[in-house]
Amino acid sequence: MTLPVYILRCLDALEGAGFPAYAVGGCIRDLLLGRQPQDYDLCTAARPEEVRQIFSGYPQVLSGVKHGTVGVVTEGGLVEITTFRREGGYQDSRRPDWVEFVPHIAEDLARRDFTVNAMAYSPRRGLCDPFGGQADLQAGLLRTVGDPAARFTEDALRILRGLRFAAAYGLTIVPETAQAMLTLRAGLDALARERVFDELCRLLLWADAALLCRFAPILAQAVPELRSTLGFLQHSPHHAYDVFTHTAHVVESVPRELPLRWAALLHDVGKPAAFTLDEHGRGHFRGHAEISAALAENALRRLKAPAALREQAVLLVSLHMLDIPPDKKLLRRRICRYGMDTLRQLLALQRADFGGKGTGRNESHPEFDQAEALLQEIQEEHACLSLKDLAVSGHDLLALGYAPGRALGACLERLLTQVVDGELPNEKESLLDAAKRFQQEHPQM
């Protein structure tokens, strides 16, 4: 296992002062898998004040010092060095309720969540793996350190972390761990919403449909808006799956972008409320996109999602039934109204929605390819598609004698529509002429 030079230097500095020190946790898991670690966490027998002393020549980040973590800004970036510790529950925050420093690495590893995350390594001390993490990794298994029920009761976030690790690393969750995850899911209600949201984001980026379906009750615990979709039959020849199973397939199929993954998860949560059965026994879901959007808004607010992500996901949900025909003129109008990025995301969502019906027929649709190709063409034309591309501005209209306000805005919108539809060239003179005519036709505005 090769550690970067700046990490080796930190380990040497600690060992040189007489303190055992290791790289620990996710970085060891990643290195054993041949993946590039995102960052390297170190742990040591040195107390925080001792760590501060040893690295006194470096800038230090001390926000975690109460819990034993000193951040050292090295030439390779920030390295978090944490004193071996035991800890209490995480009930309400990102930090444990209490910590107690301990002299030995084995006790520190025992507080960690999964065996694959409970390994430490240093070149001079070798691999420390008291719970068989390396063997589990080789066998492709995810297992808690110790009794799963106890570990998920201490910190229910581990349930979501476990699903995320299983998804991201293709691990099979061993039966006792999987069972305890499902049984103890109500513990998620007591967690800080931000922790749940962050973990759900990471899970959504990695999860496949099979994992989402198997652990659907856990998702519905974290996002109660999903609950009524579990097993909800659609009574439609177009849908072989119940609403949640369909949802899981859509999540899996959209690109790995957070607004899209969230929109996919929530796009049909309004279906149960919109459901009607006609005289032929067929299900209909009129108006479900609007209901889904309202429920999505609630869910994402409750989870304290950042506003930009929430707004984009809700917009995609509300528009997921929008007709996007492969017609250049109509597409230009849609881009003008919603923006190019949103339209691309909508197409991706609709493609996945269409492909996730489970009927095995008609699951690809040439219209999506055509619309996508046209979007590309429109992009390459650098055509005028928004007010900022228009060859006249509000200032020009003020100079024509428009008063600031509604009439001016309406005129700009109208000019834009005509340019987008190809009825006017995007040239200053013709636009100013059109603006004068508009003023004469609507003197009352």
User: Per rule CB under 6 A, is residue 48 in the interface with ligand ATP?
Assistant: no
Pick 40 or 244: Cβ nearer ligand ATP:
40
Out of Mg ion, ligand ATP, none, what residue 56 binds, judged by CB under 5 to 8 A for its kind, is: none
Residue from 20, 21, 22, 41 in contact with ligand ATP (CB under 6 A): 41
Buried b (16+ CB within 10 A) or exposed e, 334-362: bbbebebebbbbbbbbbbbbbbbbeeeee
Out of ligand ATP, Mg ion, none, what residue 87 binds, judged by CB under 5 to 8 A for its kind, is: none
User: Per rule CB under 6 A, is residue 113 in the interface with ligand ATP?
Assistant: yes
With the C-alpha atoms ordered 262, 267, 273, 275, is the resulting torsion angle positive or negative?
A: negative
How far is it, in rounded angstroms, from Cα 259 to Cα 246? Answer: 18
Tell me the per-residue interface mask from 220 to 249 with Mg ion, x by CB under 5 A, - otherwise.
Answer: ------------------------------
Given a contact cutoff of 8 angstroms between Cβ atoms, the answer to whether 200 and 161 are in contact is no
Stretch that binds ligand ATP, among 68-76, 110-118, 227-235, 273-281 (CB under 6 A): 110-118
Pick 158 or 239: Cβ nearer ligand ATP:
158
Pick 155 or 268: Cβ nearer Mg ion:
155
Out of ligand ATP, Mg ion, none, what residue 112 binds, judged by CB under 5 to 8 A for its kind, is: ligand ATP
User: Per rule CB under 6 A, is residue 38 in the interface with ligand ATP?
Assistant: yes
Residue from 11, 20, 25, 266 in contact with ligand ATP (CB under 6 A): 25
Closest residue by Cα to residue 155 from 120, 194, 195, 119: 195
Out of Mg ion, ligand ATP, none, what residue 48 binds, judged by CB under 5 to 8 A for its kind, is: none
Out of Mg ion, ligand ATP, none, what residue 113 binds, judged by CB under 5 to 8 A for its kind, is: ligand ATP
Tell me the per-residue interface mask from 119 to 158 with ligand ATP, x by CB under 6 A, - otherwise.
Answer: ------------------------------------x-xx
User: Per rule CB under 6 A, is residue 26 in the interface with ligand ATP?
Assistant: yes
How many alpha carbons fall within 13 Å on the CB side of residue 331?
A: 24
Q: Which residue is nearest to Mg ion (CB)?
A: 26
How far is it, in rounded angstroms, from Cα 124 to Cα 79? Answer: 19
Closest residue by Cα to residue 310 from 248, 345, 247, 266: 266
How far is it, in rounded angstroms, from Cα 250 to Cα 190? Answer: 29
Pick 26 or 259: Cβ nearer Mg ion:
26
User: Per rule CB under 6 A, is residue 268 in the interface with ligand ATP?
Assistant: no
What is the phi/psi pair of residue 246, to 5°?
-60, -45
How far is it, in rounded angstroms, from Cα 245 to Cα 61? Answer: 45
How far is it, in rounded angstroms, from Cα 425 to Cα 384? Answer: 10
User: Per rule CB under 6 A, is residue 247 in the interface with ligand ATP?
Assistant: no
Pick 26 or 71: Cβ nearer Mg ion:
26
Pick 85 or 332: Cβ nearer ligand ATP:
85
Q: Which residue is nearest to ligand ATP (CB)?
A: 26
How far is it, in rounded angstroms, from Cα 328 to Cα 351? Answer: 19
Pick 20 or 26: Cβ nearer Mg ion:
26
Residue from 74, 115, 117, 318 in contact with ligand ATP (CB under 6 A): 117
Stretch that binds Mg ion, among 19-27, 182-190, 194-202, 291-299 (CB under 5 A): 19-27
Q: How many CB atoms neighbour CB 120 within 10 A?
A: 28
Out of Mg ion, ligand ATP, none, what residue 364 binds, judged by CB under 5 to 8 A for its kind, is: none
Q: How many CB atoms neighbour CB 28 within 10 A?
A: 28
Given a contact cutoff of 8 angstroms between Cβ atoms, the answer to whether 79 and 61 are in contact is no
Tell me the C-alpha to C-alpha distance, in Å, between residue 133 and each of 44, 155, 157, 212: 20, 20, 20, 25
User: Per rule CB under 5 A, is residue 37 in the interface with Mg ion?
Assistant: no
Instruction: State in angstroms the smallest separation of the CB of 25 from Mg ion.
Output: 6
151 contacts: CB under 8 Å, gap ≥ 6: 113, 144, 145, 158, 180
Residue from 20, 22, 26, 402 in contact with Mg ion (CB under 5 A): 26
Instruction: Give the binding-site size for ligand ATP (rule: CB under 6 A).
Output: 12
334 contacts: CB under 8 Å, gap ≥ 6: 322, 324, 343
Pick 38 or 364: Cβ nearer Mg ion:
38
Out of ligand ATP, Mg ion, none, what residue 136 binds, judged by CB under 5 to 8 A for its kind, is: none
Residue from 10, 69, 99, 112 in contact with ligand ATP (CB under 6 A): 112
Closest residue by Cα to residue 383 from 408, 414, 342, 416: 416
Binding site for Mg ion (CB under 5 A): 26
Binding site for ligand ATP (CB under 6 A): 25-26, 38, 41, 90, 112-113, 117-118, 155, 157-158
